[in-house]
Amino acid sequence: MANPTDALLRYRPWRGNLRGPLNGSWAMARVALRLMFRRKLFWALYGLAALIFFFFFYGQYLVVWIQLQTANQTVSLAGLQVRAGDLTRFLDRLALNGSAHTFGNFIWFEGYIGMIVLALAGAVLVGNDFHHGSLPFYLAKPIGRWHYVLGKCLGAAAFVNLLTTIPALVLFVQAGLLYDWKSYYLEHGREFLGILGYGAILTVTLSLLLVATAVWVRRTVPLVMVWAGVFVLCRMLASFLVDGQRLDERWRLIDLWNDLYLVGLWCLGAEWDSVRPVDQPQPWEAAVVIGLVCAACLLYLRRRIQAVEIVQ
Amino acid sequence: MGQPPLIDLHGITRTFGAFTALHGVTLQLPPGRTGLLGPNGAGKSTLLKILMGLIEPTSGSGRVLDQPLGGDRDSAANWRLRRLIGFMPEAEALVPGLTGIEYVGLAGELYGMSRRQSQRRAHEVLGYLGLEEARYRNVEEYSAGMKQRVKLAQALIHDPPVLLLDEPTSGLDPAGRDALLNLVRELGTDHGKSVILSTHLLADVQAVCEQVVILAGGVVRGQGTVEELCARRADRFKLRVQGEVAKFRDDLLGEGVTVLADNGHGELRVAVPAGWSNLAFFKLAGCNDVVIRALVRDDETLEELFLRTVNA
Amino acid sequence: MSTSVRTNESVSATPPPIAKAPGWAVSGSPLTAHRSPLLLFEHVSKWYGPVLALNQVTLELTGGITGLVGANGAGKSTLIRLATGQTRPTVGRVTVGGIDAWDWRARLLVGYCPDHDAFYEDMSGREFVHTMARLCGYDRREARRRTEAVLDRVGMSDRADRKLRGYSKGMRQRVKLAQALLHDPDLLVLDEPLSGIDPVGRQEQLELFRSLAAQGKCLLISSHELEELEKLTNHVAVMARGRIAAVGTLQQIRDLMDDFPLSVRVDVDRPRDLARRLLDVPDVIGCDVGGEEGSVVVRATHPRRFYEAFGRLVVEEMIEVRRLEPLDDTAHAILGYLLGGSGKT
């Protein structure tokens, strides 16, 4: 191991300014992002997310083009003459027209993919620290325990934002360019704020939920099971109870994903009647549920962080 | 000398409910290499946590290099304390998925270094520790010796004046152990760092440390250099002989020598009467066709000192 | 690495020195009457895919305590796995008391104390050992009797009711040893039994091993803690790169290492005079007086002859020797030389 050059390349001292603990939180967030994008397994999901984005992107363009240019012309399809407008009717449901629902739906889809990735990556990001013994590494540094939690949350938050808010903003800009941009941006300012709002709520809730669950269960499979329980089973249960059994619409509140969607739509300023399916609870009720979930996560984290030992 | 003492503790007590881990520990250590020894449950880990500002003493006060102890673990004062100390934990403490250079770089940023500085310094430190070729590989792929060195690297990155090492040679084979201990000793002698080595391996302490502190039952039972503490026994010798040991032993007894121990493969510990000359050993050996392979004065070893101190 | 150490063939043919000293009485077990070695490796090689873990290993153990030392990755864990019957050799045979190690009957003769803990952390120590006893095939009463006997043997009777989760390293070691002793095996294989234990606990463990050996059991201890191993036994097997580099007592191994002359430190009143006289001794190849005050470091080949000559010289010249200390014949130094180091820390 030792050779003559080693003796010459000796240890050099270092003097410099040391910044505060937020520097550390930011570094942790960057490392978390790097770890998530490094896993080749997730690239399939990232591909799917990109696919959805491009679908929306070109879909918006296509819809505008058809409406303005070729709605009444016919297109030859397998020998029959079909009106272009009829062909693209399915796109109307998706509301690819730069309205609140466009962005709401987009964020909904992308968010769902982000949620899946976080479930799979959560153990890598946070759980490993507990069962691998990496906590002494973090907590022996001049950072507070909440800076540690902040660092992890920032990482998850940055990821969710990359997947939802930023592409949605791109779509917003595109929509304006396709329609009359001067009037579009001014009239649809509410949508702009709504994108930021929906994104923010998703970000905060998902990151807190991720960090709390990962601290609780630590390994991938139980984490995926818990998240599947919250985001898939509860959805199915809510739909069964309200649509199937015709119970009060407030039962839909147990579906966290739907609650996030409702609050997001409220931020975006969508008309209440256009929300599908019908019988939804009020946005403020959904907001209360989300608030409770976040508070529960924070309290749990507080309790767990107190009890951390780093020297045996 | 004008240098502040490394550790200056007065009456540090720490209780956990009904259990007292440390009873009024008063300790002054000069800068240098110190070994911290003690059986399990002696309060060593509690003392280390207090030194790093991770828990508050219940009563008493202290300073580490002029930085006072005490206060909430998340306070800025304790961050200042941790910036002075580089801690190498006993636990695994790695972040899987990161390469060596990224891991050490993250450590640097957690200490508060800027990203550039941290990267540059990480390359330097890894080069010094002999991990130059392996720095772009993932840390979980490293061998045991490399893992310990990368943990040392993350403790050194911000060039702290004090290094706190918790069982640094655990899991290492003899060659790896020697290499690591050489590095630690060099950091102490050539680069003026103070080292506190907490370990169960007394041989490590003997190889690296100038001083030892023996902690047992929450109290400091002994402190000083090994020479000061170990009793000199001028009338006791350790002999290693080869040949017909039984007759040799009988002749020794005849000369007034007491055989204190005989391990069955020719190693004897003897106590000689006053006025004894070692020449007699060789004469008796010559008569009995026995070859003396070693003759050393049987001073108290560090291990005997430890057992004596702890069992007092 | 060209040391002229005679390997497997000649050195391992020497059986370990047993029973010369009091306290090492051989038990009256029927096995020793069979005269087959307790553990025998015959030209064993083991591959894991393309990786060669063991290369033509021949080893024979009949009793006493044998240390297994070597660098990480030298093949020690593979050797242990083969001895405990967890895997089969690709080439060659491993037998325990004459029975092939893979055969379940061989497991009756072997007690294994692994280096990781694989406990059910929710159980108490007593429950765990009792469960292991039941797994051995004993009925409930017999299992309980054996559990108590074995817990008493390792000194855990009073502390065994706490949950395993809260145990210190030393206590865990004892529980592992207890479960290995349940069926009273003749061969005990211990992997890193002393790691992580404080010096007080280590003394107790060493005492326990000595008493087990005194009972007539054969112990194979793999450890990195060479100083502790040296206190326990003189007989070691050194492994390097999948081969047994040397087997025998430390003294035998050191004496065989012709490439590395012995360094001996001698403290006398007039070191230079002694140095001059020593240079007349044929085995001495050099004397160093530049070191500590009043001492001379002698380098010599053929250690035994040198010591004899030295003894005669001392008696003839009436020299008062304050210290005679070989500097590089500890297990640590020998391992260092064998693995290509300098033997010095």
pLDDT over 50 (residue C32): no
Residues C17 and C145 in one domain: yes
Neighbouring C-alpha atoms within 13 Å toward the C-beta of C317: 18
Tell me how far apart the alpha carbons of residues C282 and C305 are, in angstroms, rounded to a whole number.
Answer: 9
Give B150-182 pLDDT, tens digit per residue: 999 999 999 999 999 999 998 888 888 988 999
Give C310-336 pLDDT, tens digit per residue: 999 999 988 888 899 998 888 888 888
What b/e readout covers B215-228, taking b as 16+ CB neighbours within 10 angstroms?
bbebebbbbeebee
**How far does the CA of residue A299 sit from the closest CA of chain B (Å)?**
18
Residue C27 pLDDT: 39
Residue B293 tokens read as 């392979």
Lowest mean pLDDT among B14-18, B188-192, B211-215, C22-26: C22-26
Residues C186 and C74 in one domain: yes
Tell me how far apart the alpha carbons of residues C208 and C210 are, in angstroms, rounded to a whole number.
Answer: 5
Q: For residue C271, which phi and psi values (nearest 5 degrees)?
A: -65, -40
Nearest CA in chain B to A14: B159
Residue A72 pLDDT: 67
Give A122-173 pLDDT, tens digit per residue: 877 877 777 777 888 888 899 888 888 899 899 999 999 988 999 988 988 8
Count of domains for chain A = 1
Residue C193, domain member (yes or no): yes
Residue C339, domain member (yes or no): no
Q: Where are the domains of chain B?
A: 7-229, 236-303
Residue A161, domain member (yes or no): yes
Identify all chain C residues contacting B295, using CB atoms and an 8 Å cutoff.
321, 323-325
Q: Is C246 left (phi over 0), alpha (psi -120 to 50) or beta?
A: beta
Give A200-259 pLDDT, tens digit per residue: 999 999 999 998 998 888 788 888 999 999 888 988 888 888 888 887 777 888 888 888
Residue A261, domain member (yes or no): yes
Query: pLDDT-based confidence at C340, cuts 50/70/90?
Result: low
**How far does the CA of residue C47 sit from the closest CA of chain B (Å)?**
20
**How far does the CA of residue C341 sit from the closest CA of chain B (Å)?**
8
Query: pLDDT-based confidence at C12, cuts 50/70/90?
Result: very low
Q: Which chains touch A (3 or more CB pairs under 8 A)?
A: B
The CATH number of domain B236-303 is 3.30.70: yes
Residue C11 pLDDT: 36
Check CB contact under 8 Å for C72 and B295.
Answer: no
Residue C30 pLDDT: 45
Residue A83, domain member (yes or no): yes
Q: Is C184 helix (H, G, I), strand (E, B) or coil?
A: coil
pLDDT over 50 (residue C71): yes
Place of tokens 């024979």: C60
**How far does the CA of residue A46 sit from the closest CA of chain B (Å)?**
19
Taking residues B276-293, report their average pLDDT: 88
Check CB contact under 8 Å for B95 and A13.
Answer: no
Nearest CA in chain B to C345: B178
Nearest CA in chain A to B89: A136
Identify all chain B residues contacting C204, using CB atoms and an 8 Å cutoff.
none
Check CB contact under 8 Å for B187 and A11.
Answer: yes
**How far does the CA of residue B232 sit from the closest CA of chain A (Å)?**
35
Check CB contact under 8 Å for C198 and B200.
Answer: yes
CATH code, domain carrying C166: 3.40.50.300
Identify all chain C residues contacting B296, using CB atoms and an 8 Å cutoff.
323-325
Nearest CB to B87; choose among A27, A124, A140: A140
Residue A47, domain member (yes or no): yes
Residue C276, domain member (yes or no): yes
Give C133-184 pLDDT, tens digit per residue: 999 889 999 999 999 999 999 988 888 888 888 888 888 989 999 999 999 9
CB atoms within 10 A of CB C161: 11
Q: What is the CA radius of gyration of chain C?
A: 23
Identify all chain A residues contacting B154, using CB atoms and an 8 Å cutoff.
137
Give B94-128 pLDDT, tens digit per residue: 988 899 999 999 999 999 999 999 999 999 999 98
The residues in A 125-164 lying below 8 A from B, measured between CB atoms, are 128-129, 132-134, 136-146
Residue C343 pLDDT: 38
Residues C239 and C314 in one domain: no
Nearest CB to B112; choose among A39, A142, A311: A142
Taking residues C26-31, report their average pLDDT: 41
The residues in B 82-141 lying below 8 A from A, measured between CB atoms, are 82-83, 85, 87, 89-98, 102, 106-107, 109-115, 117, 121, 124-125, 127-128, 130
> Last residue of a domain, which of C255, C289, C307?
C255
Check CB contact under 8 Å for A27 and B87.
Answer: no
Residue C259 pLDDT: 79
Check CB contact under 8 Å for A23 and B92.
Answer: no
Taking residues C42-51, report their average pLDDT: 93
CATH code, domain carrying C276: 3.30.70.100
Give C75-86 pLDDT, tens digit per residue: 899 999 999 999
Residue C337, domain member (yes or no): no
CB pairs under 8 A between A and B: 132
Give me the domain span that covers residue C186: 8-255
Nearest CB to B82; choose among A35, A137, A141: A141
Residues C176 and C323 in one domain: no
Residues C28 and C128 in one domain: yes
Residues C213 and C65 in one domain: yes
Query: pLDDT-based confidence at C206, cuts 50/70/90?
Result: very high
CB atoms within 10 A of CB C120: 12
Nearest CA in chain C to B37: C198
Residues C272 and C244 in one domain: no
Nearest CA in chain A to B110: A24
Residue C213 pLDDT: 92
Tell me how far apart the alpha carbons of residues B115 and A35 are, in angstroms, rounded to a whole number.
Answer: 17
The residues in B 24-83 lying below 8 A from A, measured between CB atoms, are 45, 48-49, 52, 54, 73-74, 78-83
pLDDT over 50 (residue A268): yes
Nearest CA in chain A to B48: A311
Eight-class DSSP state of C237: E
Residue C152, domain member (yes or no): yes
Residue A136 pLDDT: 82
CB atoms within 10 A of CB B39: 22
CB atoms within 10 A of CB A240: 12
Q: Assess A302–B contact: CB distance below 8 Å, yes or no.
A: no
Question: Average pLDDT of chain C?
Answer: 84
**Percent with pLDDT over 90 in chain B:** 39
3-state secondary structure chain B: CCCCCCEEEEEEEEEECCEEEEEEEEEEECCCEEEEECCCCCCHHHHHHHHCCCCCCCEEEEEECCEECCCCCCCHHHHHHHHHEEEECCCCCCCCCCEHHHHHHHHHHHHCCCHHHHHHHHHHHHHHCCCCCCCCCEHHHCCHHHHHHHHHHHHHCCCCCEEEEECCCCCCCHHHHHHHHHHHHHHHHCCCCEEEEECCCHHHHHHHCCEEEEEECCEEEEEEEHHHHCCCCCCEEEEEEEECHHHHHHHHHHCCCEEEEECCCCEEEEECCCCCCCHHHHHHHHHCCEEEEEEEECCCCHHHHHHHHHHC
Count of domains for chain C = 2
Residue A129 pLDDT: 79
- Mention every residue, 6+ apart, whose C-beta is less than 8 A from residue A301: A149, A208, A211, A212, A215
pLDDT over 80 (residue A266): yes
Residue C342, domain member (yes or no): no
User: Is the bond preceding A277 in cis, omega lying within 30 degrees of 0?
Assistant: yes
Higher pLDDT: B252 or A273? It is B252
Nearest CB to A311; choose among B49, B73, B190: B49
Q: For residue C97, which phi and psi values (nearest 5 degrees)?
A: 60, 35
pLDDT over 50 (residue B300): yes
Give A75-111 pLDDT, tens digit per residue: 777 777 777 666 666 666 667 777 788 888 888 889 9
Tell me how far apart the alpha carbons of residues C99 and A289 are, in angstroms, rounded to a whole number.
Answer: 68
> Last residue of a domain, which of C255, C284, C309?
C255
Taking residues B42-68, report their average pLDDT: 87
Q: Give CA separation, B61 vs B10, B11, B31, B43, C137, in Å.
A: 5, 7, 19, 17, 59
Give C236-277 pLDDT, tens digit per residue: 999 988 899 889 988 888 888 877 888 999 999 888 888 999
Residue C118, domain member (yes or no): yes
Residues C138 and C100 in one domain: yes
Question: What CATH number does the domain located at B7-229 have?
Answer: 3.40.50.300
**How far does the CA of residue B171 sit from the closest CA of chain A (Å)?**
16
ipTM (interface predicted TM): 0.83
Residue A42 pLDDT: 87
Residue C345, domain member (yes or no): no
CB atoms within 10 A of CB B271: 15
Give C94-117 pLDDT, tens digit per residue: 999 989 999 989 989 999 999 888
The H or E element that residue A37 is part of is helix A21-38
Identify all chain A residues contacting B139, using CB atoms and an 8 Å cutoff.
none
Residues C149 and C274 in one domain: no
